[in-house]
A and B are shown apart, each in its own frame.
Chain A
Amino acid sequence: MSYEGWILLTGSLVGISCGIVGCFLILRKMAMLADAISHTVLLGIVGAYLISNSLEGIYMLIGAAIVGILTAFFVQLLHSSGVQSDAAIGVVFTSLFAVGVILLSLFAGKVHLDTDHALMGEITFIPWDILEINGINLGPKAVWMLGAVLVFNLIIIFLFYKEIKISSFDPDMAVALGIPVLLIHYLLMGMLSLTTVASFDGVGAILVVAMLIVPGATAYLLTDKLSVMLIISAIVGVLSAFAGYFIATIFNVSISGSMAVAAGVIFAITFVFSPTHGLLSRWLARKRLQNKSA
């Protein structure tokens, strides 16, 4: 595959993974937790490097998953000790992220990561970092990692679809039916952390948030069916990746930033023109109602 092809594939995989996981976060009103976790995985990645002294993907995944779940746990802990939940999120993610940045600065010489990389990702380098087994070129490592995480997410969602759905919609009912709601919560947090870290190389820690929230929010305005929402969200993720890439090459700017902007533009269009929940259609419906009653 061409250089461009690999980049587009990477971006699309990020779009699909984040888009799907993001839907559940939006529906569970945990979008800001996504923001928090996408910041704190930086600490997980730096920590994993400092402990393992290696930049292998698997260590990064483990480190990020641990810190991601810890973030969710700390937020819960602070909240239950009386700190209001938005402030709890704010305190936890900023402090863990700050520690991550400090460690990164202290060991800047040794880690190939730098703060810019952490922020924006380096999607342009991805095609060069090839996975080779027995001298056979298997394509970029990041693609394999993203693919693996996507497959893992899809399996989890497929297996536990109805459990995740009911514990998102009506947690009380779920508990009454004997579904382990807390376990499902941490399962989602785990998926979120894995997805974030796998996307990290491509779009950077911060812009993962855009990919997590914006496609899901767009899909939320386009459909009234959860399964369709997941699909639309994935499609919007892919569209944003493609559009972002082309904007970036035309203007010679950050690819990940452009992807976030593209996602934002798609959302804005949907916000106005969505046939069911758009500004325009609701305005028209109101007008029609007024005319009828007049």
Chain B
Amino acid sequence: MSETLVSIWTDANTQWVLIGTLLLGLASGLIGSFALLKKQSLIGDAMAHAALPGICIAFLIHGAKSMSWFIIGAALSGLLATFFIEKIIKLSRIKEDTSIGLVLSVFFGFGIVLLTYINHQNNGNQSGIDDFIFGQAASLVGTDVKLISAVAVLLIIITVILFKELKLLTFDPQFAQGIGLPTSFLNGLLMTLIVGVVVIGLQAVGVILMSAMLITPAIAARYWTERLDHMVIIAGAIGAFSGVFGTLLSTTTKGMPTGPLIIVAATIIFLISMVFAPKRGLLLKAIRQSRLRKQVAREQVLQTLYDFTEQEYKQYKARNGFHEQQMIKKRPISNHMLQKILHSLEKEELVRRTGDALWCLTEKGLIEAYHITLRNRLMEVYLMNEMNYAHFNIRQDQSMDLLQLPEKVLTELQQLLKQYGREPLVLPENINSGKRSYHRYASLGGK
């Protein structure tokens, strides 16, 4: 094992292969990010499968194995496949997914036919084309790798130079057109970039799994950032790492195809990203969510108690506590959760037990509940009239953000609250007087 490792670092060909797969991974991560955001991930799959007949025809015409011919053949048949996919969607009632699957499978079938034809012609002579199916990086020779690396570098340079334009194209093609960008040219360019990265990856990764090189690093990178430029860099890095990792493992294990190993490496990074990434990762999301759920449940209980208090107040009844079952019916919550929250609220001296499963707000609790209720009802009014306030950009799950609104708007919202008859009626300081007064929200220390 250590000997093979040493030979990897000293063998010039292996070094070239590693550089090649590194650049390939980088390019596919970069371009894959755009393909992903443009929702064209599966087009890459179709192109890769469709490249097979192109490679075979190139072999038949040229008569020998030649990387540059293969690349040309693969690119042409890949582009032809995308052309067919688009035409079928446009000219018939067949939908996109069917069209992709149809073209992909027929092209691939034709490729297999040609492949068997070539193998029979050569009387079992290895043409090396078989390697294109699952990828065999080790079979690359120096000149091939140099060609692949050169094309990869070219693709990377084009992407970097036109980053701004491609970004606009994926985000808002109509706007891009509006400001005079040649969108159809850029679309074609993006397609060509995708085809380019697919064809140079075929020898190392193989036609079947090449699409994953476009999809997996990009989708993994998506978990780490909200910015396209960062995403593209991260995706490129993940692609490069997977490429090198897969190549190393495959050259040390006999008979192991490179493509699957590269893809498994990328998938593992994807899974790690999905679970552990900050912000978007599932783990931290779950933690945040459970914290949020607790907070929401706490506010929910307080608001429910407030609602009940308000109702009784309207009917000039005495407050003597409200039953737990009543609370659950008003705003569904598990009994376990309710007990937990009531218990912690009791510790905070916000609620008071008044009997068996009966609870009411304390004076302190009423203040807290009042604020929560006011805020939630303001939010409600805000949402009801969202169109008028859309420019304030309040996140819908963050009623706290309301406090950032200008005073004028808050007053307006309060007015609406009154109009809808939704203003909280029970005010902490004059709870017994029965007088209804409305304080400006900010002065109540809502901050």
Residues of A within 8 A of B (CB): 26, 29-32, 34-35, 39, 81-84, 86-87, 89-91, 94-95, 97-99, 101-102, 105-106, 108, 115-116, 119-120, 206-207, 209-210, 212-214, 216-217, 220-221, 247-248, 251-254, 256-261, 263-264, 267, 271, 277, 279
Q: Select B120's contact among A94, A216, A253, A263, beta carbons within 8 Å.
A: A253
Asked if B113 contacts A101 (CB within 8 A), the reply is no
B100's nearest neighbour on chain A, judged by CB, is A32
Q: A91-B215, A94-B215, A95-B267 are in contact. Are A207 and B42 (CB under 8 A)?
A: no
Q: A31-B100, A105-B255, A271-B88 are in contact. Are A260 and B106 (CB under 8 A)?
A: yes
Q: Could you list 23 examples of A-B contacts with CB < 8 Å?
A: A31-B101, A31-B102, A81-B274, A84-B41, A90-B211, A94-B267, A95-B264, A97-B209, A97-B260, A99-B264, A120-B112, A210-B108, A213-B102, A214-B102, A214-B106, A220-B94, A252-B117, A252-B120, A256-B109, A258-B109, A260-B108, A261-B113, A263-B109
Residue B354 CB within 8 A of the other chain: no
C-alpha gap A202/B44 in the complex (Å)? 27
Asked if A105 contacts B257 (CB within 8 A), the reply is yes
Asked if B209 contacts A94 (CB within 8 A), the reply is yes
Residue B297 CB within 8 A of the other chain: no
Asked if B41 contacts A206 (CB within 8 A), the reply is no
Q: Select A257's contact among B44, B112, B134, B216, beta carbons within 8 Å.
A: B112
The 9 A-B pairs with the shortest beta carbon distances in the complex, nearest first, are A260-B109, A264-B106, A257-B112, A94-B212, A210-B105, A98-B260, A257-B113, A95-B267, A90-B215
B91's nearest neighbour on chain A, judged by CB, is A279
Main secondary structure of the interface of A (DSSP, over half): helix
Residue B79 CB within 8 A of the other chain: no
Asked if A98 contacts B94 (CB within 8 A), the reply is no
By a CB distance below 8 angstroms, the chain A residues around B41 are 84, 86-87, 90
Asked if A94 contacts B105 (CB within 8 A), the reply is no
Least distance between B131 CB and chain A CB atoms (Å)? 11
Residue B389 CB within 8 A of the other chain: no
By a CB distance below 8 angstroms, the chain A residues around B270 are 91, 95
Among residues 253 to 274 in chain B, which have CB atoms less than 8 Å away from a CB atom of chain A? 255-257, 259-261, 263-264, 267, 270, 274
Least distance between B73 CB and chain A CB atoms (Å)? 17
Asked if B116 contacts A257 (CB within 8 A), the reply is yes
Besides the known contacts A31-B97, A94-B212, A252-B116, 6 further A-B residue pairs in the complex with CB atoms under 8 A apart: A95-B216, A101-B259, A102-B257, A102-B260, A220-B93, A254-B115
Among residues 17 to 55 in chain B, which have CB atoms less than 8 Å away from a CB atom of chain A? 36, 39, 41-42, 44-45, 49
Asked if B104 contacts A35 (CB within 8 A), the reply is yes
Q: How large is the interface on B (under 10, 10 to 19, 20 to 34, 35 or more residues)?
A: 35 or more
By a CB distance below 8 angstroms, the chain B residues around A115 are 133-134, 257
C-alpha gap A37/B270 in the complex (Å)? 20
Q: A89-B42, A217-B94 are in contact. Are A83 and B104 (CB under 8 A)?
A: no
By a CB distance below 8 angstroms, the chain B residues around A248 are 113
C-alpha gap A62/B116 in the complex (Å)? 31
By a CB distance below 8 angstroms, the chain B residues around A257 are 109-113, 115-116
Residue B282 CB within 8 A of the other chain: yes
By a CB distance below 8 angstroms, the chain A residues around B120 are 252-253
Least distance between B349 CB and chain A CB atoms (Å)? 40
By a CB distance below 8 angstroms, the chain B residues around A32 are 42, 97, 100-101
A82's nearest neighbour on chain B, judged by CB, is B280
Least distance between A241 CB and chain B CB atoms (Å)? 13
By a CB distance below 8 angstroms, the chain B residues around A119 are 112, 133
Q: Select B116's contact among A216, A254, A271, beta carbons within 8 Å.
A: A254
C-alpha gap A261/B107 in the complex (Å)? 8
Asked if B101 contacts A35 (CB within 8 A), the reply is yes
Residue B208 CB within 8 A of the other chain: yes
Q: A102-B256, A277-B93 are in contact. Are A260 and B112 (CB under 8 A)?
A: yes
Q: A214-B102, A260-B106, A264-B109 are in contact. Are A98 and B259 (CB under 8 A)?
A: yes
C-alpha gap A258/B116 in the complex (Å)? 10
Asked if A267 contacts B106 (CB within 8 A), the reply is yes
Q: A213-B98, A260-B109 are in contact. Are A98 and B212 (CB under 8 A)?
A: yes
By a CB distance below 8 angstroms, the chain A residues around B130 are 116
Tell me which of B99, B109, B261 has the highest count of chain A C-beta atoms within 10 A of its own C-beta: B109
Asked if B101 contacts A213 (CB within 8 A), the reply is yes
Least distance between B410 CB and chain A CB atoms (Å)? 33
Among residues 66 to 104 in chain B, which have CB atoms less than 8 Å away from a CB atom of chain A? 88, 91-95, 97-102, 104
Least distance between B384 CB and chain A CB atoms (Å)? 26
Residue B366 CB within 8 A of the other chain: no
C-alpha gap A221/B65 in the complex (Å)? 41
Asked if A91 contacts B267 (CB within 8 A), the reply is yes
Asked if A263 contacts B274 (CB within 8 A), the reply is no
Residue B169 CB within 8 A of the other chain: no
By a CB distance below 8 angstroms, the chain B residues around A253 are 113-114, 116-117, 120
Q: Select B108's contact among A86, A102, A206, beta carbons within 8 Å.
A: A206
Least distance between B425 CB and chain A CB atoms (Å)? 40
Least distance between A37 CB and chain B CB atoms (Å)? 12
B222's nearest neighbour on chain A, judged by CB, is A83
C-alpha gap A251/B110 in the complex (Å)? 13
Residue B219 CB within 8 A of the other chain: yes
By a CB distance below 8 angstroms, the chain A residues around B97 are 29-32
C-alpha gap A154/B112 in the complex (Å)? 31
C-alpha gap A101/B108 in the complex (Å)? 18
C-alpha gap A101/B109 in the complex (Å)? 20
B44's nearest neighbour on chain A, judged by CB, is A90
By a CB distance below 8 angstroms, the chain B residues around A258 are 109, 113
Q: A39-B208, A209-B104, A271-B92 are in contact. Are A26 and B98 (CB under 8 A)?
A: yes
Asked if B274 contacts A90 (CB within 8 A), the reply is no
Tell me which of B92, B100, B101, B102 has the highest count of chain A C-beta atoms within 10 A of its own C-beta: B101
A270's nearest neighbour on chain B, judged by CB, is B92
A258's nearest neighbour on chain B, judged by CB, is B113
By a CB distance below 8 angstroms, the chain A residues around B267 are 91, 94-95, 98
Least distance between B60 CB and chain A CB atoms (Å)? 13
Least distance between B76 CB and chain A CB atoms (Å)? 18
B84's nearest neighbour on chain A, judged by CB, is A268
